[in-house]
Amino acid sequence: MAGTLNVVVICGSLRRSSYNAALARALPGLAPAGLKLTAAPPFDIMPHYNADVQAGSGFPASVTGFADAIRAADGVVIVSPEYNWSIPGVLKNAIDWVSRMKDQPFLNKPVALQSCATGPLGGARMQYHLRQSLTSIDALLFGRPEVLVSFSAQKFDEKTLELKDQPTIDIVKQQLAAFETFIRRVSAK
């Protein structure tokens, strides 16, 4: 096997007791030896996208730092809730900002998706919208297995927020192992 692959993890929830953030924290412990997972720089500090700001003072430091981390990574995992059947605004804002960059960081970048939702669909509609947006900027979307954590409140420890649901643990492990294979295939690493 070639060297370790660096994967950046982006979490779409800012909530302190977020299930998505809890899942994101669990990922390093569930990843195969060939993947090193690190959290993306914060993106909630980015201003709302405005072409006038971009044309005037250029890309804010929060945007360039976030983009640099994605560019330097071999792959990206996005773990996000679904808001009103779609992508949380703060995450979409970050995608919109970096999508305007010359050296667009998602170009040919392998991306895997995960979502936690308290309802029965597990964030599926958000994932389909994310697939659309990221395909529009030429990211390489990993397919299956999908990680859709439905009824999230039952899958994490109420106090510690530790992921305790074995079928969820299994599917996350399977996805990360398959994502490693996918990255090596599409980027010949």
Ligand X SMILES: Cc1cc2nc3c(=O)[nH]c(=O)nc-3n(C[C@H](O)[C@H](O)[C@H](O)COP(=O)(O)O)c2cc1C
Binding positions for ligand X, rule: CB under 6 A = 13, 15, 18-21, 81-85, 116-119, 121, 123, 152
DSSP 8-state secondary structure symbol assigned to residue 163? B
CA distance 39 to 8: 6
- Minimum CB separation of residue 161 from ligand X in Å reads 9
Q: In a 3-state reduction of DSSP, which class is residue 126?
A: helix
CA distance 27 to 168: 12
Give, in degrees to the nearest 5, the angle at Cα 62 between 56 and 64: 75
Of the candidates 42, 59, 41, the residue with the CA atom closest to the CA atom of residue 96 = 59
